[in-house]
Amino acid sequence: MRYLLILLCLAFVSCYNPERNCKKFKTGRFEFETYLDGDLVKTIFIRNDSVEVEIYNNKKDSASIRWINDCEYVLKSLNPKNRAERQPIHMKILSTSGNSYTFEYNIVGKTEKQKGRVVKID
């Protein structure tokens, strides 16, 4: 009986899929907050289907977007100022909930990934 209960629990957990309504986050105005050197900083970005404009610290930066599928895309800076900014970034939406999504990202070709959460504000 105990084994049956364990199997049922495993089946239930393995069937859980987080919500991924990515299409509604392809365009719009978004806000991202993160800690940078111990301070909470906010970035606003505006995205259409092919370009993203980021506003951070009253400075604008723009990147092209190449969609891989509804939940994954690659960002490439349009005006890189150094070698690091020339490297494209792979973004993957992991889950969505209401007006926000959780994502992971990494520099293309690197294995180290980081996660974040974005809120759609428009």
**Lowest model confidence (mean pLDDT) among 12-21, 55-64, 82-91, 98-107:** 12-21
**Domain annotation covers residue 60:** yes
Angle at 63 between CA 57 and CA 64, to 5 degrees: 160
**Domain annotation covers residue 11:** no
DSSP 23: G
**Residue-wise pLDDT tens digits, 12-58:** 555 556 778 899 999 999 999 887 788 888 899 999 989 999 998 88
**Domain annotation covers residue 84:** yes
Provide the pLDDT for residue 15: 56
Q: How far apart are CA 106 and CA 108, in angstroms?
A: 6
**Domain annotation covers residue 6:** no
Number of independent structural domains in the chain = 1
Identify whether the C-beta of residue 88 lies closer than 8 Å to the C-beta of residue 74: yes
CATH of the domain at 110: 2.40.128.490
pTM exceeds 0.85 for this model: no
The owner of tokens 């980021």 is 54
Provide the pLDDT for residue 122: 79
**Domain annotation covers residue 113:** yes
- Locate all alpha helices (DSSP H) within 1-122, ordered by sequence: 2-14, 83-86
Mean predicted confidence (pLDDT) in 58-85? 93
Structural domain containing residue 79: 19-120
